[in-house]
Structure 1
Amino acid sequence: MSSPSSKGVALITGASAGIGAIYADRLAKRGYDLILVARNEQRLNEAAAQLRAKTGVQVTPLPVDLNDKAGLAKVEAVLRDDPSITMLVNNAGVGSVASILQADVDKMQAMIELNVTALTRLTYAVAPAFVARGKGTIVNISSVVGIAVENLNGVYSASKSYVLSFGHSLQKDLADKGVRIQTVLPGATATEFWDVAGYAPQKTSEITMQAADLVDAALAGLDAGELVTIPGLHETEAWTRWEQERRDMSAKFRNPKPAPHYRIA
């Protein structure tokens, strides 16, 4: 796909609704052409048509189920082979509020395949291309439950902890090669996520953020050069302190003997 846009093309997963649809709108208004990935072909085509009419940018719908290996491979190939792509927004994901005693393990495996495996494979597909060109941006959507892991389903929380950890590693590997990495940690956000997760009332809770506010804050964080953006955290020094303490503690793991309080002779 050739693009007349000086910004290039942003590929967004989970782009037909919710956070992904807002990203598509905002990036189009910033001058990016778009490749929109989602399962629902009808809704994806409607969203693409509306964006073309409203913004005038090129919008390519790519109806794909990222839980399908062939579909995922198709998106990987686009990311590897299209030199006009300058941004990847890994937004597609699914959640749950069910405990281990209530949740179906096959659904949990499908969650891992979407939230972890698909995000990882798409990142691995695009990163070498960005490095070869010396520029590119990868935005990975994690969640505050990647830190506050007890709040929702354990597999969902663990999958979002993975995204946060993966982002730290990507920053280490790619920052000096011209590739920007941003990890975004939304709190409760008013989208269809909650219908699928099994707790629709959360969409109207007084602590729930509107998706437009979430994306606008995430893009402001990207503009400011943030590596990790947590739109709902007003006390930003709390994250800075927690992250520094984590890094400081990592140096203290390097001991050949167990700690004295284990009383091993």
Structure 2
Amino acid sequence: MTIPAHSTALVTGASAGIGAIYADRLAKRGHDLILVARDAARLTALAERLRAETGRKIDILPADLTDPAHLALVAQVIADAPNLGILVNNAGMALTGTLTTSPEAEVARLIALNVTAPSLLARAAAIRLSAAGAGAIINLSSVLALIPESFDATYSATKAFILNLSQGLAQELASSGVQVQAVLPGATRTEIWERSGKDIDSFPSEMVMAVDDLVDAALVGLDRGETVTIPPLADLADWETMQTARLALGPQLSKRDVAARYAAAATA
């Protein structure tokens, strides 16, 4: 699998945080950029800085990915942009409360941004890049995909969706030349905390990663061809053990007969 040198990368949620650092690092790797976010002023400032620092072609595309018309426009750009080689599916949000305490409209917006948008953009990129036989789709998930009991259930569920989407899509595109990577950050110092009314400083400092370190580690994982990259995880064997156990369940999960432990209870 190869990522074409000097290809164009489209980054969502690019105005700040993880997306802005991806934009910086990819431009410095020699990629042109299409930066997508709602905040046009921030996008403009970032684009001007990166043009001056790297000499790369940097375009901005202000868009609200919860708006179906805006989402369709970004998907069309993915389909048509010259020399597209990378999609970074980064845009996301968290609830101000929980599933039961947040307004219904906020929950719907969360699902639109964290699930619907990355799915449709990944679809557009998969079609485009597989036809070209090269490229990468980077999806930002979260370690909460693995520990949903630790945070709001809805946010964690959206990130589990992204992990499953990435693993399944990687299998689907395995012979296409397209690399799919899910990145699972732990607590990372970005604006998502403040926007959702949460205090990142309430975490012990040793639990919170700097956003620059997070993205730099994720790009090392991309270079190594990892499908799942978990920058805080010290021992890769822990992840591999979990994956082995999960895959071993496969042959046991779909059978004609009810498991004896349920059949016995039914006849008792």
| TM-score of the two chains, using structure 2 as the length reference | 0.94
In structure 2, distance between residues paired with 1:204 and 1:261: 42
Establish whether residue 122 from structure 1 lines up as the match of residue 121 from structure 2.
yes
- Alpha carbons of 1:131 and 1:201: their partners in 2 closer, same or farther (altered >3 Å)? closer
Provide the alpha-carbon RMSD of the alignment: 1.4
Sequence identity, in percent? Answer: 44
In structure 2, distance between residues paired with 1:33 and 1:100: 39
Q: What is residue 243 of structure 2 aligned with on the other side?
A: 243
In structure 2, distance between residues paired with 1:172 and 1:201: 35
Q: What is residue 254 of structure 1 aligned with on the other side?
A: 254
Q: 1:210-240 CA distances to partner (integer Å, 9 max, x unpaired)?
A: 0000000000011111110000111211100
In structure 1, distance between residues paired with 2:188 and 2:164: 22
The alignment partner of 2:173 has SS state of helix
In structure 2, distance between residues paired with 1:10 and 1:44: 15
The alignment partner of 2:35 has SS state of strand
Q: How much does 1:242 deviate?
A: 0.2
Contact 2:11 2:34 in 1 (8 A): yes
Q: What is residue 198 of structure 2 aligned with on the other side?
A: 199
- Could you list the structure 1 runs, at least 4 aligned residues long, displaced by more than 4 angstroms after superposition: none
Q: What is residue 46 of structure 1 aligned with on the other side?
A: 45
Establish whether residue 209 from structure 1 lines up as the match of residue 209 from structure 2.
yes
Contact 2:63 2:71 in 1 (8 A): yes
Q: How much does 1:99 deviate?
A: 2.6
In structure 1, distance between residues paired with 2:9 and 2:242: 32
- Alpha carbons of 1:240 and 1:88: their partners in 2 closer, same or farther (altered >3 Å)? same
Q: 1:84-129 CA distances to partner (integer Å, 9 max, x unpaired)?
A: 1100000000013623332212101100000000000101112111
In structure 1, distance between residues paired with 2:201 and 2:18: 16
- Alpha carbons of 1:115 and 1:196: their partners in 2 closer, same or farther (altered >3 Å)? same
The alignment partner of 1:175 has SS state of coil
- Alpha carbons of 1:254 and 1:92: their partners in 2 closer, same or farther (altered >3 Å)? same
Q: What is residue 11 of structure 1 aligned with on the other side?
A: 10
Structure 1 residue identity aligned to 2:72? A
| TM-score of the two chains, using structure 1 as the length reference | 0.95
Establish whether residue 92 from structure 1 lines up as the match of residue 91 from structure 2.
yes
Contact 2:144 2:159 in 1 (8 A): yes
In structure 2, distance between residues paired with 1:33 and 1:203: 38
Instruction: For structure 1, list consecutive stretches of 5 or more residues without a partner in the other structure.
Output: none
Contact 1:96 1:152 in 2 (8 A): no
Q: What is residue 219 of structure 1 aligned with on the other side?
A: 219
In structure 2, distance between residues paired with 1:46 and 1:28: 15
Alignment coverage as a number of residue pairs: 261
The alignment partner of 1:176 has SS state of coil
Instruction: For structure 2, list consecutive stretches of 5 or more residues without a partner in the other structure.
Output: none
Q: 1:37-78 CA distances to partner (integer Å, 9 max, x unpaired)?
A: 000011110110011111111100111111111111110110
